[in-house]
């Protein structure tokens, strides 16, 4: 299969994935027009494609351009906004060649009047339905005059024209991330955005569009996600002519990048993925793509971890951590992570951030005794860090008050009593690398939980005329530091965290091993949060802890088994105060941890099917089903669960009871779960019979 095809006569390029095609062509005026994103086509069929839209009246027009700028009769969302030195904004892009190599397509353009070059870049792979896109803008002028760049989109994703569209995305907040919503697409511009300098809890940079007729397992869906960990904006437009398109850009409105002669600006990657198999099919394709092409270490079976945060809060010390570590090891935990509070004067959130040496009163001999005992117990050792932050009440801030993002003469707004270090300054990035590298080296730290508990405010750098760049520069510096640490310490794992799930995105997943999904560990709330997470991101990256009952955040009481089962649908962790768990609870927890280890290859690597009040994973011959019952009215029928993705001709053996099920019966009639009580749950592990 040729993944990139060029038809010189038609001035057309087609990208081919296993189940989709993507086609653009130059029109007679040299404008790049979007032709197709959807079912697979042959080159001959692609050459016969009419334009998606070709509307030109005396009053209006719409051409479905692949990457519209400003100027001319263009009234939609511009992918590119620049201000030339003379104050004008129009651009007229002339084709300037193309390059094809190994699944990469670069289409180059030159601005007719200004010294600007533009590359539209695409990448496809033979084993993934994802199309990666990004853009590079170059200033080639020699006259010293900069241009101002207000927006440089990674991509504009145009859908085929349909009578209706529906937009799916997630909304939320701290402890309520990833609430999935699907609503008719407004005949307007719908802006999903983060202006906070992080990916954000309130929205997440992806959208799923369909024609209003897709379901979980049927229908066409067009999805796209931006791989960026800072501010971002996805504008979904439904134009007056009925067309839908989603423009993906890093950054929010306001900050401009000044591009000087000789400089270039490259966007992050935006990935689009088309599926003809509904929302579930799209999710499975995303999971496969992220595992194959995004995660740095996809083959690792994610370890069962213990994290001390909910048990101790800031009240950490050697004796307490040793006690928890011993109890965790007895449950079968494989990685022990000490959370916030181990350094400097950090007894609460008012002081100590930035002073990354073990607290002498709590760890008089440093971290070595704890790390050694954790290893002796057979576990790996992990630590919480928050490298981008500083408390004003810290030695670091007293020594370097100018190292934080701030604007001259303006207040330094504190959130959670902390300020943001300016990682775009080389000396700050070098300082952060030095202590992190030293910490990992000295203690052989296996896992860093990299937190980021506040957003950017007064994001300035006095005296620097390019200060607006720091919105991008901060993110790039964080990515670079993570990349460098991973390169220097190949065994190091990193967990992305930002007050729970505030920094969940494909760029983070490219340099971390799992994400802390939410500070909300209530298993009932988690069902919704995890449902949203799994729309795009694979379950094996989704950190899920079993914590105490009543839950410290919600006060809700839930059975231990229910809490475990919900957490076992992702990367299982335990975060409860084990010193308060009864002997019976500890014994049952140990059984459930052992059970998770048996099913985790299926959960972490399998294909996910979302059923009603259940999730199912299929991996090779194995099937795992986790089903639960929420609060149901008395007498509500217990409807059999119809499993998906099975071979109807095969038999499947229950790995716990030996009972044999026919695939056809499980699919057609369904499985009786026997869940008659609220908050009961069941885990089923089947293996296809030879």
Give the span between the Cα atoms of 503 and 230, in whole angstroms: 8
**Which of 268, 262, 264, 269 lies closest to 149, judged by CA?**
264
Out of 219, 332, 500, 663, point to the residue binding ligand DGJ (CB under 6 A).
500
213, 198 Cβ separation under 8 angstroms:
no
State the nearest-atom distance from the C-beta of 260 to ligand DGJ, in Å.
Answer: 39
Q: How far is the CB of 498 from ligand DGJ (least distance, A)?
A: 7
Q: Which residue number, 108 or 202, has a Cβ lying nearer to ligand DGJ?
A: 202
Q: Which of 519, 522, 525, 548 is catalytic?
A: 519
Q: Which residues pair with 250 in a beta bridge?
A: 232
Q: Which of 519, 522, 548, 561 binds ligand DGJ (CB under 6 A)?
A: 519
CB of 384 to ligand DGJ, least distance (A): 5
Shortest Å distance, C-beta 170 to ligand DGJ: 18
Measured from each CB, the residue nearest to ligand DGJ is: 340
Residues 6 or more apart whose Cβ sits within 8 Å of residue 513 = 295, 296, 297, 300, 302, 493, 494, 495, 541
Nearer of residues 114 and 341 to ligand DGJ, judged by Cβ: 341
Query: Does the footprint of ligand DGJ cover residue 206 (CB under 6 A)?
Result: no
Measured distance CA(142)–CA(216) in Å, rounded? 55
Q: Least distance in Å: CB of 140 to ligand DGJ?
A: 45
CA dist 395 and 352 (Å) reads 8
Q: Is 111 in the site for ligand DGJ (CB under 6 A)?
A: no
- Cα separation, 406 vs 421, in Å, equals 9
Alpha carbons within 13 angstroms on the beta-carbon side of residue 93 total: 27
Structure tokens at 55: 């509307």
Tell me the C-alpha distance between 563 and 524, whole Å.
Answer: 8
Rounded Cα gap, residues 234 and 556, in angstroms? 36
When asked if residue 279 is in the footprint of ligand DGJ (CB under 6 A), the reply is: no
Q: Where are the beta strands (DSSP E) in 143-263?
A: 147-152, 155-158, 166-171, 179-184, 189-194, 206-210, 221-226, 232-238, 244-250, 257-259
Q: Does 339 bind ligand DGJ (CB under 6 A)?
A: yes
**Tokens linked to 157:** 């994703």
Residue 310 or 446: the one with the smaller Cβ distance to ligand DGJ is: 310
CA distances from 570 to 201, 218, 583, 619 (A): 19, 25, 26, 15
Task: State phi, psi for 409 to the nearest 5 degrees.
Answer: 75, 0
451 catalytic? Reply is yes
Does position 384 interact with ligand DGJ (CB under 6 A)? The reply is yes
Q: Restricting to residues 459-498, which ones interact with ligand DGJ according to CB under 6 A?
A: 497
Residues 93 and 74: their CA atoms lie apart, in Å, by 14
578 neighbors 328 (Cβ within 8 angstroms): yes
Do the beta carbons of residue 644 and residue 650 sit within 8 Å?
A: no
Choose which of 394, 418, 453, 673 interacts with ligand DGJ (CB under 6 A).
Answer: 453
548 contacts ligand DGJ (rule: CB under 6 A): no
For residues 673 and 627, is the Cβ–Cβ distance under 8 A? yes
Minimum Å gap between C-beta 516 and ligand DGJ is 5
Residue 305 has, within 13 A of its CA and on its CB side, a CA count of: 34
Q: What binding mask, one character per residue, do residues 6-35 give for ligand DGJ by CB under 6 A, x or -?
A: ------------------------------
Please, which residue, 145 or 350, has the CB nearer to ligand DGJ?
350
329 or 383, CB closer to ligand DGJ? Answer: 383
Residue 382 sits in the site that holds ligand DGJ (CB under 6 A): no
Find out whether 21 and 38 touch, Cβ atoms under 8 Å. Answer: yes
CB of 566 to ligand DGJ, least distance (A): 17
CB of 247 to ligand DGJ, least distance (A): 31
Question: In whole angstroms, how close is the CB of 340 to ligand DGJ at the nearest point?
Answer: 4
Which is nearer to ligand DGJ, 222 or 537 (by Cβ)?
A: 537
Q: How far is the CB of 346 from ligand DGJ (least distance, A)?
A: 9
What phi and psi values does residue 139 have, to the nearest 5 degrees?
-100, 115
Interface with ligand DGJ includes 547 (CB under 6 A)? no
Q: Whose Cβ is closer to ligand DGJ: residue 69's or residue 576's?
A: 576
Per CB under 6 A, the list member of 516, 562, 564, 652 interacting with ligand DGJ is 516
Residues contacting ligand DGJ: total by CB under 6 A = 11
Q: At closest approach, how far in Å is the CB of 553 from ligand DGJ? A: 11
Residues 288-327 close enough to bind ligand DGJ by CB under 6 A: 309
Please report, as residue ranges, which positions from 618 to 677 form the binding site for ligand DGJ (by CB under 6 A): none
How far apart (Å, rounded) are the C-alpha atoms in residues 316 and 293?
38
DSSP state of 105: E
CA angle in degrees (0–180, nearest 5) for 652-658-661: 30
Q: Specify whether 519 is catalytic.
A: yes
Distances (CA, A) of 641 to 286, 358, 612, 637: 25, 52, 8, 12
Q: For the CA atoms of the chain, what is the radius of gyration?
A: 26
Which one, of 212, 219, 247, lies nearest residue 232 by Cα? 247
Backbone φ and ψ for 613, nearest 5 degrees, come out as 55, 40
Looking at 65, 220, 451, 505, which residue binds ligand DGJ (CB under 6 A)? 451
Minimum CB distance to ligand DGJ smaller for 129 or for 340: 340
Catalytic site residue from 451, 505, 522, 525: 451
In the complex with ligand DGJ, the residue whose CB is nearer, 185 or 452, is: 452
Dig out the tokens for 72 from the structure: 């001319």
Q: How far apart are CA 328 and CA 255, in angstroms?
A: 47
Residue 340 in the binding site for ligand DGJ (CB under 6 A): yes
Task: Give me the active site residues, please.
Answer: 451, 519
Binding site for ligand DGJ (CB under 6 A): 309, 339-340, 384, 451, 453, 497, 499-500, 516, 519
């Amino acid at each position: 299969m040729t993944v990139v095809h060029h038809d010189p006569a038609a001035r057309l390029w087609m990208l081919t994935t296993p189940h989709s095609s993507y086609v653009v062509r130059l029109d007679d005026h040299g404008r790049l027009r979007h032709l197709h994103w959807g079912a697979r086509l042959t080159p001959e069929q692609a050459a016969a494609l009419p334009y998606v839209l070709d509307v030109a009246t005396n009053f209006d027009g719409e051409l479905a351009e692949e990457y519209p700028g400003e100027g001319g009769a263009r009234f939609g969302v511009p992918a590119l906004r620049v201000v030339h030195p003379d104050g004008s904004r129009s651009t007229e892009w002339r084709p300037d060649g193309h390059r094809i190599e190994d699944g990469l397509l670069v289409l180059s353009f030159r601005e007719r009047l200004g010294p600007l070059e533009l590359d539209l870049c695409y990448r496809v792979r033979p084993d993934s339905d994802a199309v990666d896109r990004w853009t590079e803008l170059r200033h080639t002028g020699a006259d010293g005059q900069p241009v101002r760049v207000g927006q440089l989109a990674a991509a504009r994703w145009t859908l085929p024209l349909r009578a209706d569209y529906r937009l799916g995305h997630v909304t939320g907040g701290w402890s309520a991330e990833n609430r999935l919503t699907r609503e008719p697409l407004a005949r307007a511009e719908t802006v999903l955005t983060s202006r906070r300098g992080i990916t954000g809890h309130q929205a997440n940079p992806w959208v799923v569009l369909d024609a209003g007729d897709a379901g979980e397992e049927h229908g066409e869906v067009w999805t796209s996600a931006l791989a960026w960990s800072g501010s971002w904006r996805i504008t979904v437009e439904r134009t007056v002519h009925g067309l839908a398109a989603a423009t993906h850009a890093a950054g929010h409105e306001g900050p401009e990048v000044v591009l000087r002669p000789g400089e270039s600006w490259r966007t992050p990657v935006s990935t689009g993925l088309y599926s003809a198999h509904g929302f579930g099919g799209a999710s499975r394709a995303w999971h496969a793509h992220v595992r194959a092409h995004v995660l740095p270490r996809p083959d690792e079976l994610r370890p069962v971890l213990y994290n001390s945060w909910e048990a101790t809060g800031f009240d950490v010390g050697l004796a307490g951590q040793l006690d928890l570590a011993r109890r965790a090891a007895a449950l079968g935990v494989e990685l022990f992570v000490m959370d916030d509070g181990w350094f400097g004067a950090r007894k609460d959130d008012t002081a100590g951030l930035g002073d990354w040496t073990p607290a002498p009163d709590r760890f008089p001999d440093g971290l070595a005794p704890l790390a050694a005992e954790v290893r002796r117990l057979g576990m790996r050792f992990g630590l919480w860090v928050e490298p981008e932050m500083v408390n004003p009440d810290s030695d670091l801030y007293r020594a370097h008050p100018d190292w934080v993002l701030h604007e001259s003469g303006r207040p330094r707004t504190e959130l959670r009593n902390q300020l943001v270090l300016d990682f775009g300054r080389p000396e700050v990035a070098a300082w952060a690398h030095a202590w992190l590298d030293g910490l990992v080296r000295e203690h052989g730290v296996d896992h860093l939980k990299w937190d980021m508990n506040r957003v950017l405010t007064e994001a300035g750098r006095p005296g620097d005329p390019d200060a607006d760049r720091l919105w991008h520069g901060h993110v790039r510096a964080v990515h670079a530091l993570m990349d460098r640490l991973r390169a220097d310490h190949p065994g190091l794992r990193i967990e992305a965290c930002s007050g729970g799930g505030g920094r969940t995105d494909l760029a983070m997943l490219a340099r971390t091993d799992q994400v802390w999904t939410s500070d909300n560990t209530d298993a009932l709330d988690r069902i919704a949060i995890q449902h949203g997470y799994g729309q795009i991101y694979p379950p094996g990256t989704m950190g899920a802890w079993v914590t105490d009952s009543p839950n410290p955040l919600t006060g809700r009481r839930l059975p231990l088994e229910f809490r475990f089962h919900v957490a076992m649908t992702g990367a299982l962790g335990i975060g409860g105060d084990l010193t308060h768990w009864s002997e019976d609870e500890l014994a049952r927890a140990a059984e459930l941890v052992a059970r998770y280890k048996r099913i985790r290859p299926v959960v972490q690597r399998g294909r996910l099917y979302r059923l009603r009040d259940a999730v199912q994973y299929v991996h090779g011959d194995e099937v795992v089903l986790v089903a639960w019952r929420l609060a149901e009215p008395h007498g509500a029928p217990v409807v059999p669960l119809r499993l998906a993705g099975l071979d109807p001709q095969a038999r499947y053996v229950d790995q716990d009871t030996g009972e044999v099920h026919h695939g056809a019966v499980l699919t057609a009639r369904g499985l009786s779960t026997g869940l008659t009580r609220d908050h009961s749950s069941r885990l089923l592990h089947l293996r296809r019979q030879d």
